Amino acid sequence: MPEPTTAPAWHIQHAQVLDFGRILSAADTLTSAADVLDYLTTPDAFTREHDLWTQAGRPRPPCVDDLTEARTLGPGPAAAALWSRHRAAGIAWRAFCDLLDESAHTGRPLHVVVDGLAP
């Protein structure tokens, strides 16, 4: 029987620490150089926020390149798909930022709910 494999904790992997740091910065959680240094010194202190981001499906800010490409394509299904993807990314990103903000202000553990069911 194969041994179960476990991935290393996110905060041990340099690329994941930097990736999530970009997310926290875009979400206005890391707003100063001191915030960034605190995060890079002890990224594991942000595990609650990382778990929330993971539960939310790892949303990212909507990409303005999608809009530029959609405008370049003009009317048609490809442009409509890009507009739709941009809107969906914006909705997911705003929902995550609201959840992150609520968690920071209340200190309560929050969970992502999708279609009325918590994952």
Which pLDDT value is given to residue 93?
93
How far apart are alpha carbons 73 and 37 in whole angstroms? 42
DSSP class per residue in 83-113: HHHHHHHHHHHHHHHHHHHHHHHH-------
Residue range 7-33: average pLDDT? Answer: 91
- Pair of tokens at residue 53: 């981001």
SS3 of 117, please? strand
Residue type, 2: P
Of the candidates 94, 113, 103, which has an alpha carbon nearest to the alpha carbon of residue 27? 94
**Per-domain residue ranges for the chain?**
10-106
Average pLDDT, the chain: 85
> 55-110, pLDDT tens digit by residue?
999 999 998 888 888 888 888 998 899 899 899 999 999 999 998 888 877 766 55
CB 71 within 8 A of CB 62: no
pLDDT value of residue 110: 56
- Structure confidence at residue 16 (pLDDT): 93
Coil vs helix vs strand at 29: coil
SS3 state at 114? strand
